[in-house]
Amino acid sequence: MRRIGAQEGRGSGRLVRRIGAQEGRDTANSRAGGPQQRQASSGRLGRLLRRAGLALRPVALALGLLGLIAILAMVVAFPLWYFSTRSRPAFTIAIGGLLIAGLVYLLVRGLRRASRRAGGLRVLWRRRILPGLRTAALVLAGLAAAYLIALLAARIFR
């Protein structure tokens, strides 16, 4: 073996193995059944096993990952299933509480980011939140008026 790169001024100095004339090749002596036949056949078997291992490695990795996912899913799903079947009201309250906590977290995080971008909470309130609330109030008032008109029309034309 000889070192390449460090002496020649390029690369990272990795080792390179030169293949000799007899190495990794079928020789006339091994084909004829000579003294090197056992070594050559174990070399072929070794290469075959190595290639099979390289080919099957992704399959084994995929099966391992699927097994890990199944175990993690069971670790999460089984306690949730058990809790939901044993105490339905408590489970409903707990999941509702987690949902509300997540929504509050997202709302607060969004407000903090938006206030930083706008230059403060007061500026954000005046320029973005109040106009948004006004628009929402107008939409809700319009929907309420349409619902009221529909109720009145149903009573009158019944």
**pTM of the model as a whole:** 0.42
Answer whether residue 1 is part of any domain.
no
Answer whether residue 40 is part of any domain.
no
Report helix, strand or coil for 37.
helix
pLDDT in single tens digits along all 158 residues of the chain: 555 554 555 555 555 555 555 555 555 555 555 554 444 456 888 888 888 888 888 999 999 999 999 999 999 999 999 999 999 999 999 999 999 999 999 999 998 898 888 888 888 888 888 999 999 999 999 999 999 999 999 999 87
Answer whether residue 5 is part of any domain.
no
Total of domains in the chain: 1
Q: Is-contact 40 30, C-beta < 8 A? A: yes
Q: How far apart are CA 129 and CA 110, in angstroms?
A: 12
Tracing tokens 């075959």 back to the chain, one arrives at: 48
Q: How far apart are CA 41 and CA 26, in angstroms?
A: 10
Structural domain including 133 reads 88-158
Answer whether residue 127 is part of any domain.
yes
